[in-house]
A and B are shown apart, each in its own frame.
Chain A
Amino acid sequence: MEPVDLQMVVPGARSWAEVRSAQPDAMDALFARWMGDVLQWCRRLGGPTVDPDHAAQDVYIVVLQRIHTVERPGQLPSWLFAVTRRVLAQHRRKAWVRRWVPGLAPDGPDPRPGPSAAAGLSERARLVHALLAELPEELREVLVLCDVEERSDPEVADMLGLKVGTAKSRLRRARMRFRELALARGLGLDEVGT
Chain B
Amino acid sequence: MSQDEAEGADRGAPSPLLRSFAAETAVDPHTAARALARARGQRAVRPPSWGLRGLGVGAGLALAGALLLLRPEPAAPPAAPPAPALAAAAPPLQAELGPGVHEPIPGLRLTVTGQGSLSGTAAAPRLQWRSGAVRVEVDPAAGLDLRLSAPEGEVAVLGTIFSVDRAPLGLAVAVERGKVAARCGAAAPLTLTAGGAHTCLPTSPAGMLARARALQEAGASGEVVLGAVDQGLGISGGSPAVRGELRVVAYEEKLKGGDLDGALGVLDAYLAEGGPRQDELRAAAAGLAHRLGGCARAQPYLPVAGVEPAVAACAR
Give A contacts to B, CB under 8 Å: 21-24, 27, 31-32, 35-37, 39-40, 43-44, 53-54, 56-58, 60-62, 64-66, 69, 86-87, 90, 105-113, 121-122, 124-125, 128-129, 143, 146-150, 152-154, 164-165, 168, 171, 175, 178-179, 182, 187, 190-193
Contacts and interface: CB of A to CB of B under 8 A. Distances in A.
B36 A43 contact: no
Task: Bin chain B's interface residue count.
Answer: 35 or more
Contacts, number: 186
8 contacts: A39-B32, A44-B21, A61-B45, A128-B18, A148-B14, A168-B4, A175-B15, A192-B15
A134 to B, nearest CB: 14
B4 A39 contact: no
Nearest to A83: B51
Interface stretch (B71-79, B118-126, B140-148, B194-202): B194-202
Contact of A36 (B11, B24, B27, B219): B27
Given A35-B35, A109-B167, A65 B47 contact: yes
Interface string B127-139: 0000001010000
A66 B16 contact: no
B13 A62 contact: no
B272 interface: no
B25 A24 contact: no
A21 B29 CA distance: 26
Given A36-B29, A107-B199, A121-B24, A150 B14 contact: yes
Contacts of A62: 47-48, 51
A61 B18 CA distance: 30
Given A60-B113, A154-B4, A124 B17 contact: yes
A18 to B, nearest CB: 11
Interface of B: 4-5, 7-8, 11-18, 20-22, 24-29, 31-33, 35-36, 38-40, 43-48, 50-51, 54-55, 98-101, 111-113, 133, 135, 165, 167, 169-170, 172, 174, 197-199, 201, 215, 218-220, 224
A108 B201 CA distance: 10
A interface: dominant SS: helix
B231 to A, nearest CB: 12
Given A27-B100, A54-B45, A111-B215, A146 B39 contact: no
A32 B170 CA distance: 30
A43 B27 contact: yes
